[in-house]
Structure 1
Amino acid sequence: MAVHVAGLDWQSIADELNAHGYAIVPGMLTADECIAMAAQYGQASLFRSRVVMSQHGFGSGEYQYFRYPLPSMIAALRQSLYGPLADIANRWHEAMDMEARFPADHADFLARCHAAGQQRPTPLMLQYGPGDYNCLHQDLYGDHVFPLQAAILLSQPGKDFEGGEFVLTEQRPRMQSRVEVVPLKRGDMVIFPVNHRPAQGGRGVYRVSMRHGVSRLRTGSRHTLGLIFHDAA
């Protein structure tokens, strides 16, 4: 997994993030890996908690947070993706004049989170059925926030489900929100901001506030793996 991640075109990924607020990595997982990963949703021993969205006003559907130790593939993805994303995150924070900087190794960043009381793992799997959706939101979880996250679609659009598009919105200062519908196939990974991203304006760089969600599922079943790099309080 680390070799695969290192071989990605990280300059193109950074360029897409800067230009559009997200980047798609096609075929991050194979179909068989996606099927095996989605099947883990029924293994209660892998998870620390289950959230039914309708009970909290988050939408409709449910998700579960993995417990430590994470399954080996999820741990490998989280570790190997963090380093290249930390380079992008540090450039973003410098551009936005934000103080926080991120160490090169994920273990060092997690140590920072844990010392501040953010000790609960945040990788999660989401499950949607007909009529389910996820309201626009941000995955913050505490004072220490890594500014990028990733999601991998584990189900095949048009076969396993209809509808259920991944959606991003950006709120630009003194302007209406802009919406982006992100086209994903099974196994594709999307990288996107947790909260803010830099954008170039006529007077220099400014902060754009981002939110993400999932539109209403019309038919079928949809599973997604979410990779968040900070832990929760």
Structure 2
Amino acid sequence: MKAMASRDGVVKAGADDWAGIGQSLDAHGNAVLPGLLTAGQCDELAALYPRDDGYRTRIVMARHGFGRGEYKYFAYPLPPLLDQLRHALYPWLAPIANRWNRLLKLATQYPLDLDAFFRRCHEAGQTRPTPLILQYDEGDYNCLHQDLYGDHVFPLQVAILLSEPGKDFTGGEFVMTERSNKSQRADVVALRQGDAVVFTVHQRPAPPIGSRRRGIRKVAMRHGVSRIRSGRRHTVGLIFHDAR
């Protein structure tokens, strides 16, 4: 897959790149977008974390049983780079989401324009922004979970690693699990600074197991972060549905 460096939110990837991303999502429930941000862009975003302005709320994970660490939800208006990335990625992801829903025999289809999807969310009372920035220190971790904030849920989201593994922190791997009937599997996704991972929010379609089985399986997905062994790790999460 070609590099996907972004300048001012312009995602430089063509149809061939996205065909590969779709294939990885179909097979594994996740796909890596290498070099989505530069090191400078990552550092600029991470430097926003200590500020008090620009956020709607701060969550200390241990207080809610989410793990250890903390995160902040951005307020509207989002930082321009995050707003532009959200709008640039969504039109590529919506066709994948729509194809998945057809395979799962779900009636919901998503508009190809992000602002049109926001209108759908807001009409249902989901008006709060969901993009967030997470900070983990030594010993912190994120329990396996799903980011569901209301009736209108977009089935894919994006996490961008802002810190450099091996330099800024050790440990802290992005982890996904999938469960279908009695089958369970874990997947560790290796990321470098500036890489993003697109992944399943809730569930995805998967082919049947075994040559005699037919039809599509519904696979439940969860994601989390393993324990930070040293240093500090920052990540940005781009969720495409707003919250109640």
TM-score (norm 1): 0.97
Alignment partner of 1:181 out of 162, 178, 188: 188
Q: Distance in 1 between matches of 2:187 and 2:226?
A: 12
Identical-pair percentage: 58
- C-alpha contact 1:5 1:80 (8 A) present in aligned 2: no
Q: Aligned residue for 1:230?
A: 241
Question: Hey, what does 2:113 align to over in structure 1?
Answer: 105
Q: Which runs of 5+ in 2 are unaligned?
A: 1-7
> Is the 8 Å Cα contact of residues 167 and 181 (structure 1) preserved in structure 2?
yes
How far apart, CA to CA, are the structure 2 residues paired with 1:152 and 1:113?
A: 24
Alignment length (residue pairs): 232
- Distance in 2, matches of 1:193 and 1:25, equals 14
Report the alpha carbon displacement of residue 119 of structure 1 after superposing the two structures with TM.
0.4
Q: What are the ranges of 5 or more consecutive residues in structure 1 without an aligned counterpart? A: none
Structure 2 CA distance, aligned partners of 1:11 and 1:42?
Answer: 38
TM-score, length-scaled by structure 2? 0.93
| 1:107 Cα deviation from its structure 2 partner | 0.3
The residue aligned with 2:231 is 220
Q: Which runs of 4+ in 1 moved over 4 A?
A: none
CA 1:126 to 1:2, structure 2 compared with 1: closer, same or farther past 3 Å?
closer
* Alignment equivalent of 1:206, drawn from 214, 217, 239: 217
| Compared CA separation, residues 99 and 5, structure 1 to 2 (3 A) | farther
Contact 1:35 1:154 (8 Å CA) reproduced:
yes
The answer for the alignment partner of 1:153 in structure 2 is: 161
1:102-181 equivalence runs, <5 A: 102-175=110-183, 177-181=184-188
Deviations 1:129-150 (A, max 9, x none): 0000000000000000000000
The structure that is helix-richer by fraction is 1
CA contact (8 A) 2:10 2:85 kept: no
CA contact under 8 A between 1:5 and 1:81: conserved in structure 2? Answer: no
